[in-house]
Amino acid sequence: MSVFVTGATGHLGRHVVEQLLERVPAGQITAVVRDEAKAAGLAARGVRIAVADYNAPETFEGLFGAGDKVLLISSSEVAADRVAQHRAVVDAARAAGVALLAYTSAPGSLTAALADDHRATERAVLDSGVPYVFLRNGWYHENYTEQLATVFEHNAVVAAAGDGRIAAAARADYAAAAVTVLTGEGHENTTYELFGDTAWTLGEYAAELSAQSGREIGYNAVSPEVLTGILVGAGLPEGFVKILVGADLSIEKGELAGGGNDLSRLAGRPTTPLADAVADALKTREN
């Protein structure tokens, strides 16, 4: 039996593999990557490396074996046909007769266009008949803390999310939940709604940034139209801008405010507080 992680050198995938190495022998882990060179460090630690590309379905043919467990980390190529990309993995998992296919999806409460590809992928997984787990990940702290350069340039957090609350958590928290599912038993045909333990507003995020950085960071709550103009003016593709603005509107509606404790329960610990995420981001920025 092997545990396969697609997108293993990506932001979330690296966390998953690192935490898998704490649970199972390296030889039982296969990191599925597009660029083998980026996985050299994992290979040096004994992790098996498989080269496959979401855009080339044939590269997944014969990759998995009966009884394997697979984590399909959703494609980050928003402009691509992500459902077709995901289906390449789903079809290969079905053909192999894997024991479990886990998919990193979006919260069931999310109505923004961002969720459309995830819902379509979930349907493809269900239609395949493969034992599944849907890991419906909420927002990452890093969605915001990795944008500090822009925030500090303008001394403001700019968004169209109003006072909507965000039950975010760190990527490492979501990775811990995925590892529990991949290494445990009894998770087949289950959907987990995964959110951080504590929800916060972007105003509270700006206040936390101010407190820890010593700078006056405000929250500039703008209209969807204004945000669209800002993002298009910054050179982002219009299709991607619509997705980002739509996500902010979902936040304003309370669709990412969370509920339940699936994430902390699966992770086996409380989720990372916002203050800790901000501290880590500021430390990284200084180094």
Residue 2: how many CB atoms within 10 A of its CB?
A: 17
Is 79's pLDDT higher than 70? no
Cα distance between residue 169 and residue 21, in whole Å: 22
**End-to-end distance of the chain based on CA atoms, in angstroms?**
40
Give, as one character, the DSSP assignment of residue 59: G
Pairing outcome for strands 48-51 and 69-72:
unpaired
Average pLDDT over residues 111-134: 96
Q: How many helices (H) and strands (E) does the chain have?
A: 12, 9
Q: Which neighbouring-strand residues pair with 100?
A: 69
Task: Tell me the C-alpha to C-alpha distance, in Å, between residue 6 and each of 12, 229, 237.
Answer: 10, 35, 26
User: CA 285 to CA 100: how far, in whole Å?
Assistant: 39
Q: What is the rounded CA–CA span in Å between residue 14 and residue 198? A: 25
State the DSSP string of 107-129.
Answer: -TT--SGGGHHHHHHHHHHHHHT
> Would you kindly state where each structural domain of the chain is located, as residue ranges?
3-138+169-196+259-271
Tens-digit pLDDT profile for residues 148-199: 999 999 999 999 999 999 999 999 999 999 999 999 999 999 999 999 999 9
The CATH number of domain 3-138+169-196+259-271, selected from 1.20.1090.10, 3.40.50.12160, 3.40.50.720, 3.30.530.20: 3.40.50.720
> How far are the Cα atoms of 125, 155, 204, 280 from residue 212, in angstroms, in the given order?
44, 14, 12, 11
What is the C-alpha separation between 77 and 223, in angstroms, rounded? 27
d(CA 122, CA 5): 18
Per-residue pLDDT averaged across 110-126, rounded?
Answer: 96
Cα dihedral 263/267/273/276 (nearest 10): -150
pLDDT surpasses 70 at 137: yes
Element (H, E) at 157: strand 156-159
Chain centroid offset of residue 147 CA = 16
pLDDT of residue 77: 78
* Average per-residue pLDDT for the chain: 96
pLDDT at 265 over 70: yes
CA distance 115 to 257: 16
